[in-house]
Structure formats: C-alpha cells, structure tokens
Amino acid sequence: MLRFIVKRIGLSILTLVIVSLIVFLMTSIMPGDIAKQILGRDATPEAFEIWNKEKGFDKPLVVQYSRWMGGVLTGDLGTSLQYEMPVAEILAPAASKSAQLAIVALLLIAPISILGGIAAAMNRGKKVDRALTVGGLSAAVIPEFVWAVVLILVFGVAIQVFPVSAFPDEENPNLISSIYHLILPSIALLFVLFGYISRITRAGVIEALDSDYMRTAVLKGLSRKTAVFKHVLRNALLPTIAVIATQVPYLAGGLIAIERVFNYPGFGNILLDAVIARDFPLLQSAVFLTGVVIIVFQLIADILFAVLNPRIRQKVTE
C-alpha cells in the first residue's frame, strides 16, 4: 500500500512539473506587450528596456522558468505586476475564500446527490426515479451563473431569506454568518452537479442491487433495507466517492461566474483580473495552483478508491 502511495505521489509530482512548464510557456507567449501596458504608451524605449531588465524578462526562458520554479518551491511566487505586491499575499486570501465556498458547497452537494442517487436506484423505473433523473439532468443543463441569478431573484429579492452577496459585510464575520452567506451559491452549484453525481450513484447502487452478493444477503434472511445498508452501499459508493473527489477542483479552482454574481473575492476573480491585466507572475502562479489542487484531489480520489476496495488494495500491496 505504501509503495502504491509513494508511486502515485511520484507520478503526481511529474505531472505537476509538466503542468508548470505548460503554464509557464503559455503565459510567456501571451499576446500584448506588458511593459507597454504597465508603463504607458508614451514611455521611452530605454524605459521599457530598463523595466524588462528589472523584472528579468530579458533573460532566456530557461532562466526565467528556473527562477520562477525556484521561487515556487521556496514560497516566493514573485511580485504582481499589476498590484506591485507579492503574489502570495494576493493568492492566499483568495484561495482561502474559494476553499470555504468549496467546503460548504461540497457538504451540501455530496449528501444530497448521493441520497438522490440511492432513492432513484431503489425506485428504479418508478416515478421517483424518473423525476430525479430528468430533474437532475435538466438542472445540469442550465449554467451555474444563470441559476445564481434566478436564486438571487427568488430567495434574495422576492422572498428575502438569503443574502444576495456571498460575502458578509461585517468586519469579522462569525462562522455561522459565513456559511449562511455561502448557501445560495452552493445551491446553484448543487443544481449543476446533482444530476451528474446522483446518476453515478444510481448506476453504482443498481449494479450492486443486481449483484449475486445482494441476492445472497437477501436469501440469508436480511431485510431488504438492512441488506442495502450493509451490502450494497459500501460497494456502490466506491465510484461515487472517486467522482466527487474529481469534482472538488472544479469547486475550489475558481468559479468565476459565481464569484462575480455573488460578489465574492475568490480565486476566480483574481484569475480573471490577472488575464485582463496580463499580470503574468500572478497568472502563472494562480493557474499553477489550480493545477496543484486538481492533481492533489485526483491523488486523494485514487488513494480513497484503493483503501475502500480490497481488491485494488491487495493488488497494490503485492
């Protein structure tokens, strides 16, 4: 098992290196002269040269890349061109905000979607199943920001039960208030992900319900409910857990539209600003961080899958 984990981590690091290269090259060849934008059109050619030299943009790409990577490893992400302050200081609070949103959303989405999937599977072919499947799919077709607007209009404006902003106005909001503000955006995300996750759950539960071991359980004399609880869920939820873990980066990696609509200072807003301002020290690190989140959660999904499934666990132990 340990060997498997070490191997997976090794592979993840390799992937990260490749990601960092791609990110670096992409931001380096971004169109538009940054110096011109920062210094203004009227600056002299000498001024541009000095600025480029000062920022190190005159060096070969290899040197620039190794300087950036060296910084990343030591926690120095460089200086934002746009804000003239350390990238880390800009990214850290935004990442924390995005993580808060992701956690609240996940705590809402995972149980509801799983329960929905189980309910659909247990009532296969009946009205409940059809309603959940069709409803889930229809909801997923509509983008999250449209849901966001609809939700704001209904629950924020018409019947004012939730705040229209996802960010408390108070200076030091307490936990409850923070969560309360995040519920509406989470519901918007629930609508988008419910169809997907509940369908995966439904498929897993149906497969397990039709399995020979479920038949054994029932013929042992277990009631259907107990048999489902003890024998079906553990097997059925395996793929679901992996799927949910792969959705975490989507939630945590910057939901630009949701953040805009709910006026939330998360990761997505920073990303968008960085692109528009061609602030590529900031952009590089922000995109790279998104990559890290995706890869880390993929790793977590794989390890979880292995831990929960004795067949894989044994294979990786050998």
Partner 1 sequence: MTTTPTLELRNLEVAYTVRGIDRQVLRGVSFSIAPGEAYGLVGESGCGKSTAAFAAMRYLPRNGKITSGSILFEGKDIVDINDDEVAKLRRSAISMVYQNPATALNPTIRIGKQIAEVFELNGVSSADAMMMAEQALTKVQIADPARVMRRYAHQLSGGMAQRVVIAMALASNPRLLVMDEPTTGLDATVEAEVLDLVRELRRDTGTAVLFISHNLGVIRNMCDRVGVLYAGALVEQGATSELFSNPSHPYTVGLLRCIPRGGLHKNTDRLDTIPGTPPALGTNFDGCVFAARCSLADDKCRTQLPEMVTINGSHVARCFHSDKAGSMPRSIEQIEYAPQTTSHKTQVGDTLLNISHLSKVFNQDGHKVRVINDVSLTLGVGETLGLVGESGSGKTTIAKLVLGLTPPEEGGVVTLDGKGLAKTLNRRDVADVGAMQIVFQNPDQALNRRHSVTRIVSRAVERLRKFSLAAALERAHELLSGMRVDASLHSVRPVQLSGGLKQRVAIARAFAGAPQIVVCDEPTSALDVSVQAAILNLLVDLQKKDQTSFIFISHDLGVVRYISDKIAVLYLGRVVEFGTSQRVFTGPFHPYTEALLSSVPNIDGSTRKRIPLTGVVPSPSNPPSGCVLNPRCPRKAGSGYETLCETEEPNLTEVEPGHFMRCHVPMAKLKQLQS
**Location of structure tokens 């705040």:** 163
Question: Angle at which helices 280-308 and 87-122 pack, to 10 degrees?
Answer: 40
From 58-66, 71-79, 199-207, 310-318, span contacting partner 1 (CB under 8 A): 310-318
Q: Which amino acid is at 275?
A: V
From 40-48, 223-231, 251-259, 287-295, span contacting partner 1 (CB under 8 A): 223-231
| Number of residues binding to partner 1, judged by CB under 8 A | 23
Q: Single out the residue of 6, 63, 70, 213 in contact with partner 1 (rule: CB under 8 A).
A: 213
Residue 308 binds partner 1 (CB under 8 A): yes
Residue 130 binds partner 1 (CB under 8 A): no
Residue 7 binds partner 1 (CB under 8 A): no
Q: Single out the residue of 10, 70, 93, 310 in contact with partner 1 (rule: CB under 8 A).
A: 310
Residue 52 binds partner 1 (CB under 8 A): no
Residue 111 binds partner 1 (CB under 8 A): no
Smallest distance from the beta carbon of 106 to partner 1, in angstroms?
24
Which residues partner with 86 through β-bridges? 79
Give the CA radius of gyration of the chain: 24
Binding string, residues 230-269; x marks residues near partner 1 by CB under 8 A: xx--xx----------------------------------
Distance CA 316, CA 99 (A): 32
Smallest distance from the beta carbon of 308 to partner 1, in angstroms?
7
35, 52 contact by CB (below 8 A): yes
Burial of 312 (0-12, 13-18, 19+ CB in 10 A): middle
From 132-140, 220-228, 261-269, 286-294, span contacting partner 1 (CB under 8 A): 220-228
Select 209 or 293, whichever has its Cβ closest to partner 1: 209
Select 96 or 314, whichever has its Cβ closest to partner 1: 314
DSSP 214-246: HHHHHHTT--HHHHIIIIIHHHHHHHHHHHHHH
Q: Single out the residue of 220, 229, 263, 276 in contact with partner 1 (rule: CB under 8 A).
A: 220
Select 3 or 53, whichever has its Cβ closest to partner 1: 3
* Cβ atoms within 10 Å of 139's Cβ, excluding its own: 16
Question: What's the full length of the chain, in residues?
Answer: 318
Q: Single out the residue of 223, 229, 263, 276 in contact with partner 1 (rule: CB under 8 A).
A: 223
Q: Tokens for 223, please give them.
A: 């009631």
Distance CA 64, CA 77 (A): 13
121, 206 contact by CB (below 8 A): yes
Select 45 or 221, whichever has its Cβ closest to partner 1: 221
Smallest distance from the beta carbon of 301 to partner 1, in angstroms?
17
Smallest distance from the beta carbon of 127 to partner 1, in angstroms?
16
From 20-28, 31-39, 86-94, 218-226, span contacting partner 1 (CB under 8 A): 218-226
Residue 215 binds partner 1 (CB under 8 A): yes
The SS3 call for residue 183 is: helix
Distance CA 105, CA 185 (A): 8
Q: Tokens for 281, please give them.
A: 């020290």
Residue 218 binds partner 1 (CB under 8 A): yes
Residue 222 binds partner 1 (CB under 8 A): yes
The SS3 call for residue 79 is: strand
* Cβ atoms within 10 Å of 124's Cβ, excluding its own: 14
Residues that bind partner 1 (CB under 8 A): 211-213, 215-224, 230-231, 234-235, 308-311, 314, 318
